Structure 1
Amino acid sequence: MPMVIFAPVKDGGHDPSIGKKVSAFLSKLYADDTAVGLHIEPIKGSADPKVRTGRVDDFYRAVLFKVTGSGQDHYVYTGVWPHDKANEIARTAVLTTNPVNALPELKFVEPAPAAVTPAPAPAVPTPTASSVLAKAQPDLDEAYVVDTFGLDEELVRQAWSATSDDQLLELAERAGGWRGDVLLALAAGGTPTKIREELGLDEQPDVAAGATEDERLLAAMKTAAGQMQFAWLEDDAELRRVIEAGDLSRWRIFLHPEQRTYVEKTYNGPFRLSGGAGTGKTVVLVHRARRLARDNPDARILLTTYTRNLAEGMRRQLKDLDPGVRLASALGEPGIYVAGVDQVANQILTAAKPSDVDTAVERVLGPGNRATGRLVDTDKAWRDAIATADTDLPADLRSPIFFEAEYAAVVLPNKVTTLADYLHVRRPGRGVALNRANRQRVWEVVRAFRAAAAVSGEVDFGEVCAVAAALEAPVFDHVLVDEGQDLSATRWQFLRSVVAPGADDLFLAEDAQQRIYGQRVVLGRYGIKIVGRSRRLTLNYRTTAEVLGFATSILAGEPYVDLEEVSADATGFRSARSGPEPARVATSSLTDELDRSAVVVRGWQDAGVPGEAIGILVRDQRMADRVGRGLEERDVGVQLVTRTAGRSGRPQLMTMHRAKGMEFTHVLIFGADVDLLPAAYLLRGLSEDERADLVQRERSLLYVAATRARDELVVMWEGTPSEFLVAGQS
């Protein structure tokens, strides 16, 4: 039975309508390459004798390479094209190993001409100082790059002649695999040593003495750098999932060599993986959870994040990756347990002995309080507490936002239960200074808040996590956390408490630029020491370079700090894909904006974009309701995505917050007005520090919304655009 290796090239995707035919073709090939109807045939006059084509139907043919090693045939699948186009591609396709680093190369060359008269060499523009790579790498020359990375001289000459990012991206896409990534990494300013390390270019294929050329090629495709282009699918079922998934999910199949390192490596304690939107942090988490479960089937693994819908998204990705993966259905069971942090904390409390819970509550909240009940409306509860306390609070402290933050960042994680505790507790990072008198006034409000909650039987999830953390119940062997920048201090305390310190205990992913909830947190203050175990991903797998450039411009000039209290900026990120520039559309009224939105969405649908691949994102639920009604009136049916609604084949309309963790091929951002981003109604009555933090989170919210787009992005506003967009244009 032959092995099928999946290595689709640029423009090698098939029409979705023949997906099942392609799947059937590859399934037959996997079972028996001599099966009637496959018509696996060599191509006369091809540049590589290993190339083959196979019959998908009367119109389409697949282009493959046949490679034999250790007595088994392997077929490398590159794509499907119409009959004549497939034959043309097959004649020029070459699969070989690089003479410098022995890594695999899939490229296209002109076959040797039959005539003896040599063809004239193609004209190559003379490299200039204005080229993208000459600016990014002023100390490197072409010959050094050829010798260091093993790139073709012609490819390097063309790369050094590219005077725009679009030209270089197009070249990188055509080169593919590790060769394309070398060009992108050079353009991003990476040093040769760092690039070789990140891409795994120094890993030597594992080949036996006397191995054949085909066996050396197969070994090269099994290296980390090789597997970023050549996917070794384990069985027929996995092959079928890849083919039928379509292009939207294809990027998840391949792990970048650096990603593969983070999936497979063992760490002697907590590890933090950072990176911008679309760099594959969640993909690493899902693959790592699966790897841990395979290594030890009895391991209890928690895969978690801030919100329930994000957790459900990870569960779907895990099942897509491996339908046979063992998922735990309850705490303490072997397998991977996927749930939101708050859900897990609540389950820990429910399962604990009542006497243990009472002790933990008294430690965290003081006597007479509780840790279960209905969820409190925090904004209303703090407003009521401020009014009830009747203190002489200064105006800049009479804000529910201030008290929510103070309670979450200072009172709960430090288990403050008395005025004496609060007068002496440290408040690092809070910004608003409090003298002794104001601390006393603030504490009176906290007492009023807790007293009212005790009477009404209400609780907030910060309290649930704080009490659950105080139980100190290590019920997991490994904890993997996504979107770590959005977790509060007590949630981090809770996660630290549910896994015993040791190898591979905590693995977390975060992006400071995507913090849209809560306050800044420094992990070291809550028992999570990461010194020396932190890395950053920079290659964007989701969005085009144009969308990425637009999104990062929103963040320009804004200072961000990561979970280790280190400055984090949005520079150095790069994308392997190119596409159209994001469209900025100014409208004169809400009616005009709805009219134009209907035209855009209808145009995408008429062009064949599936409805559920279109995302329409708005600032809040009130706007979502208005836009939904407006588009329906214009004969554009949409699916309003709420906590319980799923995808229905229609364009997906949702708030920007709910879009976190999702992706679409096409995104329309509606209502990017000066009064909605940042939301003017949230800024009223805030102190200067609170206002600055909220504006930063609103900026991040627009960044998150923009980076949901894979291929195309349209941003609309009524009247005056958001200040974030104006900054992005300067």
Structure 2
Amino acid sequence: MHIAPRGEDGPLPQLAFANTFWDKYEQLEKPVRAGVRKAMKKFQQLTVAELRADKGLHLESVENARDPRLRTIRITDFWRGVVLAPDDGGDTFLLVNVVQHDKAYEWAAKRLYTVNTATRGLEVRNVVAIEQLTPVLEQTATKVQERLFDGFSDASLTRLGIDAGTLRAARTITDKAQLEAFASLFPEDQFEVLQFLAEGFDEDTVWREVVAVRRPTDPGPYDPDDLSSAIANTHSRITVVTGAEELEDILTKPFAAWRIFLHPTQRRVAYRATYTGPAQVTGGPGTGKTVVALHRVKHLLQRSPHAGRILLTTYTTALAKSLRESLALLLEDEALLKRVDVTTVDALARDVVRRRRGSVPRLCDDADERFRWRKVQQNLGLEWNEQFLSQEYRHVVLTQSISTEDEYLRVVRRGRGSALGPVKRTQVWRAMRMFEQGLRKDGKCTYLQLCAEAARLLGEPGAGDPPYAHVVVDEAQDLHPVQWRVLRGAVAPGPDDLFITGDPHQRIYDSRVSLGSLGIPVAGRSSRLRINYRSTEEILRWAAALMEDEPVESLSGDGKDSLAGYRSLLHGRRPALRGFGSEDAELNAVVAKIREWVAGGAAPAEIAVAARFHQTLDKVKARLERAGLPAVLVREGPGQQDVGVRLATLHAMKGLEFRCVAVIGVTAGTFPFPPAVTPPDVDRLQHEADMLAERCLLFVACTRAREELYVSYTGRSSRFLPAAADIEG
């Protein structure tokens, strides 16, 4: 049992935070958050006896509480903290929620905290709701021949930590949908055990993958009243504060804890003991795919502490920087962190080529590449524009590793909607050869050419062992097939070789891929996350409507993906859509909206304005600064420390999230943006793919908002938006 340090007048309290507290804390207004900090500091300054007697804190019992240890403390006149307080003689206090005054007592009265008999961790349940729901389901269950857990004895379920209260309710459940209804009611560990069993895992596997990983090495006798030990055993859901500096840091930067917190439904995927081959995790925005990827890295490191290196990779440098910061928060062992390379696929390819060849060609940026294709098209007098030629090279030649004219003349041009006979193919092939020759003459190459060369070097005879034991991929939806070939070559095929997370609904660069054809089969090893833990249900439903009726190819390229069943457990205000008669009026309105958010308690850095063009953002920045509001242009993505409203292009919003987001300039001429869309008469299939990418771009920007979303336009609104608002200004 934990023994508290002693002050001159008795033991000093130990303070801990349940991770459910961070959900609420991020959404509190500034005065309430200040009240939390003030109240929590008393736990660093007073003894246990002094805390109980302090009139300002007002540690008060909850009338009719199902758990007599629950107390409320005063945060402000209208807000209360809910604390699980130790029995007399104890020292560990757990802050579990911050709620408006009247709701605090109602919330606390329904909760019961217990110690799991198997994991020895602390759990909470809505005991009132379970007791009300169980008799109703018992009556329904009598009419059903088979219930979900009939194949497991009471003894088996008890061994896995299912206690009497949960067991009675579990015996009434007939299908997975009913089980999901208990997600917010059942104790966390017990619910996850039932989820595993419902998915077809046997008792021993569930013990190994759910119970044993959380159970102390030497648990000792079971003590249902040992609150301090139970809290110490629940490190995945509870943060224990050991000093004043740590308390201040965690209260001023609470989102750091949230970035690496794993929900039970995510833990099942991240901490599965092993996968027999490549595994894939998909899910909509906010479902925690990145957190799952981070924890998978942790699991692989802990499972094999002396094995080879691990690659954690993603699409952009900014996202890689964010992953590196989050992994450092998650891993307490510096030696483990040093075994992980966190980088982009392009940077990996550059490193492979440099190591194998001694040098790397200069890289050609997007603008230079477009200029070169335009020059080729003009020199040859071709009927196709530079966009068509570039896409043909990207989606056919590079995708299928074509190196000769004969191969190109015979190849099936998958995903291309324009017919090319032999004569025309010869003309296009000549253009592509001229493009490559021009780059070689200037000592340059494109990023995808560099990746193709790296993949070739990794796969050639005598290349040696692959550089990594495991590869974990985040934001996988935008990777091109040649980038996948680099990753396939970076790790030997086998158990736990590739762990892939992504969302095809956030695919904004039209990278088509069939993972199976690249030696990355994920059939039978795919999981889908459906609960959004970031945005409110109101924001989620509004944004999802942008993608309605749009068929989206799955991440692995073997079917279609859907947002069906995708939902949020959070609720808030409906998104606002406003139209204006002039850009001046639209810009004035977004400044006013930001003033409103700041007055409501949002820090400027918790607010973002997204627009299609940098010129629009420059205008917003000038107006915000004239209004006395700090603003910073997002160039480097996650990890920026500047204080100010974030201003980002829609492409730069990828991987970011904010309390409040304004997406402006969503006009008919901007979404879809004509230069980004292939005309249907040039290539019908490419036109459809480009239009979908435009929808995905807007969807990504809108789903960066956690609490409030504001969308505006000037003149005629984009066809992607719901029914237009009345024009103002």
The TM-score range, normalised by the shorter chain, is: 0.7 to 0.9
**Does the 8 Å contact 2:62/2:105 carry over to 1?**
no
Q: Equivalent residue for 1:417?
A: 403
Q: Is 1:258 matched with 2:265?
A: yes
Q: CA separation in 2, counterparts of 1:634 and 1:12?
A: 30
Q: Equivalent residue for 1:367?
A: none
Q: CA separation in 1, counterparts of 2:413 and 2:148?
A: 55
Counterparts in 2 of 1:22 and 1:381: CA distance versus 1, 3 Å? farther
Q: CA separation in 1, counterparts of 2:184 and 2:517?
A: 47
1:704, distance to aligned residue in structure 2 (A): 0.2
1:590, distance to aligned residue in structure 2 (A): 0.3
Residues 285-338 of structure 1: CA distance to partner in whole angstroms, max 9, x if unpaired? 11222232333444311111111111111112222334654476xxxxx51111
Structure 1 segment 172-321 matched on structure 2, within 5 A: 178=188, 193=198, 211-214=222-225, 230-231=237-238, 240=247, 243-244=250-251, 248=255, 251-252=258-259, 254-265=261-272, 266-298=274-306, 299-321=308-330
**Does the 8 Å contact 1:541/1:575 carry over to 2?**
yes
Q: Equivalent residue for 2:621?
A: 628
1:431, distance to aligned residue in structure 2 (A): 3.3
Q: Is 1:591 matched with 2:588?
A: no
Partner SS, residue 213 of structure 1:
coil
1:586, distance to aligned residue in structure 2 (A): 1.1
Partner SS, residue 512 of structure 2:
coil
Counterparts in 2 of 1:141 and 1:103: CA distance versus 1, 3 Å? farther
1:550, distance to aligned residue in structure 2 (A): 0.6
Structure 1 segment 644-683 matched on structure 2, within 5 A: 646-683=640-677
Counterparts in 2 of 1:399 and 1:647: CA distance versus 1, 3 Å? farther
Q: Equivalent residue for 2:344?
A: 340
Counterparts in 2 of 1:191 and 1:257: CA distance versus 1, 3 Å? closer
Q: Is 1:494 matched with 2:486?
A: yes
Q: Is 1:385 matched with 2:390?
A: no
**Does the 8 Å contact 1:151/1:179 carry over to 2?**
no
Q: CA separation in 1, counterparts of 2:220 and 2:363?
A: 69
The alignment's C-alpha RMSD in Å is 4.9
1:416, distance to aligned residue in structure 2 (A): 2.6
Q: CA separation in 2, counterparts of 1:247 and 1:146?
A: 39
Q: CA separation in 1, counterparts of 2:372 and 2:509?
A: 19
Q: CA separation in 2, counterparts of 1:151 and 1:196?
A: 23
Q: Equivalent residue for 2:530?
A: 538
> What stretches of structure 1 of length at least 5 have no aligned partner?
111-122, 128-132, 157-168, 329-333, 358-369
Q: Is 1:64 matched with 2:84?
A: yes
Out of 682, 703, 706, which is 1:707 matched to?
703
Out of 688, 706, 718, which is 1:722 matched to?
718
Partner SS, residue 94 of structure 1:
strand
Partner SS, residue 317 of structure 1:
helix
- Of stretches 267-276 and 2-11 in structure 1, the one that deviates more from structure 2 is 2-11
Q: Is 1:698 matched with 2:694?
A: yes
Q: CA separation in 2, counterparts of 1:18 and 1:438?
A: 72
Q: CA separation in 2, counterparts of 1:210 and 1:295?
A: 27
Q: CA separation in 1, counterparts of 2:507 and 2:433?
A: 30
Residues 538-583 of structure 1: CA distance to partner in whole angstroms, max 9, x if unpaired? 0101010000001110000001111322110111101010001111
Counterparts in 2 of 1:699 and 1:37: CA distance versus 1, 3 Å? same
Q: Is 1:609 matched with 2:614?
A: no
**Does the 8 Å contact 1:482/1:509 carry over to 2?**
yes
Q: Equivalent residue for 1:469?
A: 455
**Does the 8 Å contact 1:67/1:74 carry over to 2?**
no
Counterparts in 2 of 1:431 and 1:20: CA distance versus 1, 3 Å? same
Out of 91, 103, 106, which is 2:124 matched to?
106
Q: CA separation in 1, counterparts of 2:700 and 2:415?
A: 24
Q: Equivalent residue for 1:95?
A: 113
Q: CA separation in 1, counterparts of 2:187 and 2:607?
A: 29
Q: Equivalent residue for 1:17?
A: 34
Counterparts in 2 of 1:658 and 1:9: CA distance versus 1, 3 Å? closer
Counterparts in 2 of 1:399 and 1:25: CA distance versus 1, 3 Å? farther
One-letter amino acid of the counterpart of residue 265, structure 2: E
Counterparts in 2 of 1:324 and 1:19: CA distance versus 1, 3 Å? farther
1:217, distance to aligned residue in structure 2 (A): 12
TM-score, L = length of structure 2: 0.76
Counterparts in 2 of 1:672 and 1:172: CA distance versus 1, 3 Å? farther
**Does the 8 Å contact 1:311/1:340 carry over to 2?**
yes
Q: Is 1:7 matched with 2:18?
A: yes
Aligned-residue identity in percent: 31
One-letter amino acid of the counterpart of residue 270, structure 2: V
**Does the 8 Å contact 2:83/2:93 carry over to 1?**
no
Q: CA separation in 2, counterparts of 1:540 and 1:581?
A: 16
Q: Equivalent residue for 1:400?
A: 386
**Does the 8 Å contact 2:18/2:239 carry over to 1?**
no
Q: CA separation in 1, counterparts of 2:62 and 2:636?
A: 58
Q: Equivalent residue for 1:453?
A: 439
One-letter amino acid of the counterpart of residue 648, structure 1: D
Q: CA separation in 1, counterparts of 2:524 and 2:324?
A: 30
- Of stretches 243-252 and 666-675 in structure 1, the one that deviates more from structure 2 is 243-252
One-letter amino acid of the counterpart of residue 319, structure 1: A
Counterparts in 2 of 1:217 and 1:490: CA distance versus 1, 3 Å? same
1:345, distance to aligned residue in structure 2 (A): 1.2
Partner SS, residue 609 of structure 2:
strand
Residues 665-712 of structure 1: CA distance to partner in whole angstroms, max 9, x if unpaired? 000010111111111233365532222111100000111011000001
Counterparts in 2 of 1:352 and 1:26: CA distance versus 1, 3 Å? farther
Out of 344, 348, 353, which is 1:349 matched to?
353
1:585, distance to aligned residue in structure 2 (A): 0.7
1:273, distance to aligned residue in structure 2 (A): 0.6
Q: CA separation in 2, counterparts of 1:660 and 1:478?
A: 25
> What stretches of structure 2 of length at least 5 have no aligned partner?
4-13, 151-161, 171-179
One-letter amino acid of the counterpart of residue 69, structure 2: K
Partner SS, residue 352 of structure 1:
helix
**Does the 8 Å contact 2:281/2:527 carry over to 1?**
yes
Residues 92-134 of structure 1: CA distance to partner in whole angstroms, max 9, x if unpaired? 75324799x9997636789xxxxxxxxxxxx99xx9xxxxx9x
Counterparts in 2 of 1:67 and 1:34: CA distance versus 1, 3 Å? closer
Out of 491, 505, 513, which is 1:513 matched to?
505
1:716, distance to aligned residue in structure 2 (A): 0.4
One-letter amino acid of the counterpart of residue 420, structure 1: D
1:53, distance to aligned residue in structure 2 (A): 6.7
Out of 518, 536, 549, which is 1:526 matched to?
518
Q: Equivalent residue for 2:157?
A: none
Q: CA separation in 2, counterparts of 1:345 and 1:17?
A: 48
One-letter amino acid of the counterpart of residue 356, structure 2: A
Q: CA separation in 1, counterparts of 2:532 and 2:109?
A: 32
